[in-house]
Structure 1
Amino acid sequence: MASNVTYHKIDELPGVIPVFPLRAALLLPRGEMPLNVFEPRYLAMVEDAIRGHRIIGMIQPDPESAEDEDRPDLVRVGCAGRLTAIGETGDGRYLVTLTGVARFRVVEEVMATTPYRQVRAAFDEFASDLAPGEGQEDVDRDALLKTLKDYLTANSLEADWDGIRRAPNEALVNALAMMSPFGPREKQALLEAADLKSRAEILVAVTEMDLARARGDASSSLQ
């Protein structure tokens, strides 16, 4: 989803941002995340963001927190996204799209009066996120595509290979990472990868481990 705003410098991003804690959710720079917003606190967050800078931080609850905990601890790194599409459903919900801008580190949680949570965010160490395609020439595309093909074959899935072949490395790596079926810890590792090459390597490694486990389970079931 195209954005009407391009951020060129980290200091163009707000220092305090609302956050949407969501387990196993992964937003990456220039990736697109559709959200169906229906809880009152997050409806308020979307409405306030529309009136303001349109930035919302996606972040995971700490994996050690209980899933039913109302205010879980947060992991330390999330990704800020800009609201680039907003739709009203007629029944009180919003269907929105967040387009990733840059990762951030939580400095502290702000004691806010809003029903949703807010954090003081530091973007400095992730300044390279603002540069489209940064480091994509270092990605081992052949290894990534081979692992993707193995995963699709093992799970009897199909893909648009013409579209995949046309996709630049950054878009391919980040889209596959965001769509991957892995758990909170793996998703956080993908988010915090030092660069695109490292993210692709982590994605290949965790996919290969998942395939190996599946083959082991299949072998055990036949014995």
Structure 2
Amino acid sequence: MLLRNVNVAILSMCFMGGHVGVFAQSAQTLPSTIPLFPLQEVMLFPHVHRPLHIFEPRYREMLAEALEGDRIIGMVMLRPGHEADYFGRPPIYSIGCAGVIADVEELPDGRYNVVLHGFSKFRVKSEDQSCAYRWAEVEAIPETLSDSDREALRRHRPRLLEALSSLSPGSPP
């Protein structure tokens, strides 16, 4: 499913209408401070939906508070060696993606199934460590393509489409 989401995101962002365009800007605004949800080897990308299962108490609290507010959560990846401090403040990468909660199912035992819709890359400027889960001051990283990026995408478009098609047999070209 992730591969299919990445394929769709790549195609929709880069090849709209058969030509390379500038990435669309989201209507969602990135707040200056957001809760962080760090995971190992799981990423969120702008314009892509990411299903998540929230089960740890601290992240259940984070989700409940996000649902009462602007519904925004930032996802970041854990750095290698995070296991030593997993239940504390394990090291994270400073680049992440903010998502808005698009769908949520609260389970009888308090766990959640959630779908986040990514809308903005961000850089962590600083962290607030005063609550059970992480909060960070963030700054948006705009999605732009340089002229050389556009030209490279034009040149490689046929090969990229072929590679994407081979990874998702049966998907439309």
RMSD of aligned C-alpha atoms?
A: 2.6
Change (3 A) 1:22 1:6: same
**2-structure distance, mates of 1:64, 1:147:** 33
Within 1, Cα distance between the matches of 2:107 and 2:44? 23
The answer to whether 1:119 aligns with 2:119 is no
Question: What letter corresponds to residue 133 of structure 2 in structure 1?
Answer: Y
Q: Does 1:6 align with 2:6?
A: no
Q: In the alignment, residue 169 of structure 2 is paired with which amino acid?
A: A
The equivalent residue for 1:65 is 82
Look up the SS of the partner of 1:75 in the other structure.
Answer: strand
Task: Give the total of aligned pairs.
Answer: 142
- State the 1:14 CA deviation: 1.1
> How far off is 1:137 after superposition?
9.6
- Structure-2 separation of matches of 1:45 and 1:138: 39
In structure 1, distance between residues paired with 2:152 and 2:170: 22
Q: 1:105 aligns with which of 120, 123, 126?
A: 123
Question: How far is the alpha carbon of 1:62 from its aligned partner?
Answer: 1.3
Alignment map for 1:15-94 (pairs within 5 Å)? 15-66=32-83, 69-70=86-87, 71-94=89-112
Which of 135, 153, 156 aligns to 1:138? It is 153
1:129-157 per-position Cα deviation (integer Å, ceiling 9, x unaligned): 7xxxxx6993533212333456x4xxxxx
Q: Tell me the distance in 1 between the aligned counterparts of 2:86 and 2:104.
A: 28
* 1:160 corresponding residue in structure 2: 170
Asked if the contact 2:37/2:74 (under 8 Å) is kept, the reply is yes
Alignment gaps of 5+ in structure 2: 1-25, 145-149
CA distance in 1, matches of 2:98, 2:151: 21
Q: CA deviation at 1:68?
A: 6.4
Counterpart residue number, 2:11: none
CA distance, structure 1, for counterparts of residue 123 and residue 95 of structure 2: 5
Tell me how far 1:65 sits from its aligned partner: 3.0
SS in 2 for 1:76: strand
User: Equivalent residue for 1:128?
Assistant: 143
Kindly state the Cα deviation for residue 63 of structure 1 after the two structures are TM-superposed: 2.2
- Per the normalisation by structure 2, the TM-score is 0.72
Give 1:111 shift.
Answer: 2.5
TM-score for both structures, normalised by structure 1: 0.57
Relative to total residues, which structure has the larger strand share, 1 or 2? 2
State the distance in 2 between where 1:39 and 1:94 align. 10
1:60/1:81 CA distance change after superposition, 3 Å: same
**Which protein has the larger Cα radius of gyration, Structure 1 or Structure 2?**
1
Q: Which has the higher helix share?
A: 1
Partner residue in 1 for 2:8: none
